[in-house]
Amino acid sequence: MIKIAPSILSADFAYLARDIEKIADADYVHVDVMDGQFVPNMSMGPMVVSSIRKATNMFLDVHLMIVEPIRFVRQFCEAGADLVTVHVEADTEENIHAALDLIHSMGKKAGVVVKPKTPAEAVLPFIDKVELILVMTVEPGFGGQSFMADMMPKVAALRKLIDEKNPACELEVDGGIDPVTARVAVEAGANVLVAGSSVYKAADIPARIRELRG
């Protein structure tokens, strides 16, 4: 089954609860956390996640675009994240392992993310222990960018590795997903689709979520 994870980066932050209600038909709420250092933009921290947690029972998929994520994973888990993903580029292999172990020790799901220039093999040290792998289909930092179709061989390679090594693991794509690129990503092997602008700019959001699901 294809899951849809609207990114609230495209919501109105002054009306987050209202904008999360608008995506009640989706599967996950995708929460983009940016520190102004790992990516050239800032968004929200654990306090905002904690407020979101009080406003919805939906599954919170928290995408950490921050350096040395181990410093903050505990706070995000305590704030109510259901899944926390960390970038493999954001720290040493040892510290990424430690971050994933800490997330699991708090009873949450853990995942790893790869930026466009990072090869599929970079997830191999972690593939046995994660519940989700996220492939960026834009350079992280901003919503509303164009889908990088040249990431599809990487998605296909990761689908193959997941099927061999950890078939329960989910494969998520993030960036530039609309009803057309959604089909391309699913064809390549993705099963969770993050979509920000395409969901929040739609006149009929529930209809757009159905279209994305295909």
Report the chain's C-alpha Rg in angstroms.
Answer: 16
145 binds ligand DX5 (CB under 6 A): yes
The count of chain residues that interact with Zn ion, using the rule CB under 5 A, is 3
Residue 85 binds which entry of Zn ion, ligand DX5, none, CB below 5-8 Å type-dependent:
none
Residue type, 35: D
Q: H-helix or E-strand containing 188? A: helix 179-188
For the annotated catalytic residues, the residue numbers are 32, 174
Closest CA to 63 of 172, 167, 158, 147: 172
| Shortest distance, position 30 Cβ to Zn ion, whole Å | 6
Q: H-helix or E-strand containing 107? A: none
Residue 35 binds which entry of ligand DX5, Zn ion, none, CB below 5-8 Å type-dependent:
none
Closer to Zn ion by CB, 135 or 205: give it.
135
140 binds ligand DX5 (CB under 6 A): yes
User: Binder to ligand DX5 among 46, 69, 111, 175 (CB under 6 A)?
Assistant: 175
Name the packing angle between helices 179-188 and 205-213 (round to 10°).
30
Residue 84 and residue 112: Cα distance in Å, rounded? Answer: 9
Closest CA to 69 of 83, 84, 80: 84
| Residues 55-84 within binding reach of ligand DX5 (CB under 6 A) | 63
Stretch that binds Zn ion, among 63-71, 87-95, 182-190, 201-209 (CB under 5 A): 63-71
Q: Which residues make up the interface to ligand DX5 (CB under 6 A)?
A: 7, 9-10, 30, 32, 63, 138, 140-145, 174-177, 194-198
